[in-house]
Amino acid sequence: MKQKIFVSRAIFPEVLARLEQHFEVQSNQEDRIYSADELLAAAKGRDGLFTTPSEPVTAALFAANPQLKAVCNMAVGYNNIDVAAATAAGVMATNTPDVLNETTADFGWALMMATARRITESEHFLRAGKWKKWSYDSFVGPDVHGATLGIIGMGRIGQAIARRSLGFDMQVLYHNRSRLKPEQEARANNAQYVSKEELLKRADHVVLVLPYSKETHHTIGAAELALMKPTATLTNIARGGIVDDAALIEHLRAGRIAAAGVDVFENEPAFKPEFLSLTNVVLTPHIASASTPTRLAMANCAADNLIAALSGQTPPNLLNPDVVKA
């Protein structure tokens, strides 16, 4: 008799078909966003959950579903899962690291360059029929080549972003919970480890690539933005909540930093409507990993984790190994 799983969001049909070879699958292919209570109810009688960051996987869910063995998130981030509660309940929790590193780094560069070179703003100007003549100061912005790049969060994605800077002849500064090994710094365009404050003061372009947690909430707030150069840009491809969005809006409105590229927001998909009145911000709807090969690889990685977990194996991307030790 097949074990039962619930797939909480629409996924690629071929991945769903693969899961159906192993499990009795109930899926949310209509792609409705489930509340915490709705997900709790959908987990009834299920051995495993295939989730995404939009669904809150809470201690209450684990308490109401003692039969649950695994929750497998289709994302690198997993702040939607109460991992401590999962561990206490004996439930394996997994994520999908590595498969999106290069695509996300590509997008980080795309967003940073669009921000620096005012691409969105100038396109809106053109589409509105306002382009009547060439001007020496029309949509001028800071250079990327030869500039100083500051990366906060120097994990695999941060290092991939740093490697790309070599072709732009940039100096790389980084801040991280711990310093990289010398050989890692060398591969990351000879990145220099500095304090967060020094990075913000010196960098021409700041890119955020750190995971969200209580400790990293509002890593960039009003005090940090005040340290940045008025000509600097800020790019957030990390998670909503890393930046105090209200403070960012105020600094952009006042011209205290030049521009920002924002792919993630506090309380997304809701976001502060004040962003829409600003011309010096590039806004995208959490699409840093959105290439077809990468999203398919993420879905298959989550499926791999779920198949392993419910087959009595240790899943390759287990977040709480204490469950297996127990």
Could you write out the DSSP letters of every residue in 8-40?
A: -S---HHHHHHHHHHEEEEE-TT-PPPPHHHHH
What is the rounded radius of gyration, in angstroms, for the C-alpha atoms of the chain?
21
Residue 243 has pLDDT above 70, yes or no: yes
The CATH number for 4-98+292-324, chosen from 3.40.50.720, 3.90.1150.10, 3.40.50.300, 3.40.710.10, is 3.40.50.720
Q: Does domain 100-283 have CATH number 3.40.50.720?
A: yes
pLDDT digits (tens, 9 = 90+) for 19-56: 999 999 999 999 999 999 999 999 999 999 999 999 99
Distance CA 246, CA 242 (A): 12
- Which strands make up the sheet holding 48-51, listed edge to edge? 23-27, 3-7, 48-51, 70-73, 92-94
Query: So what's the pLDDT on residue 239?
Result: 93
Read off the pLDDT of each residue in 161-170 and give the average, rounded to a whole number. 98
What band does 260 get if pLDDT is binned at 50, 70 and 90?
Answer: very high
Residue 84 main-chain phi, psi, to 5 deg: -60, -40
Q: Where in the chain is the domain with CATH 3.40.50.720?
A: 4-98+292-324, 100-283
Distance CA 159, CA 153 (A): 9
Read off the pLDDT of each residue in 192-220 and give the average, rounded to a whole number. 96
Query: So what's the pLDDT on residue 326?
Result: 61
| Tokens standing for residue 51 | 């989730």
Residues designated catalytic: 239, 268, 286
Yes or no: say if 120 and 187 are a contact pair by the CB < 8 Å rule.
no
Compute CA distances 281 → 21, 111, 122, 203, 224, whole Å: 46, 10, 12, 18, 18
Residue 325 has pLDDT above 90, yes or no: no
Triad 122, 123, 126: Cα angle to 5°: 90
pLDDT digits (tens, 9 = 90+) for 85-99: 999 999 999 999 999
- Of all residues in the chain, what percent carry a pLDDT higher than 70? 100
Read off the pLDDT of each residue in 150-157 and give the average, rounded to a whole number. 97
Taking all residues of the chain, what is their mean pLDDT, rounded to a whole number?
97
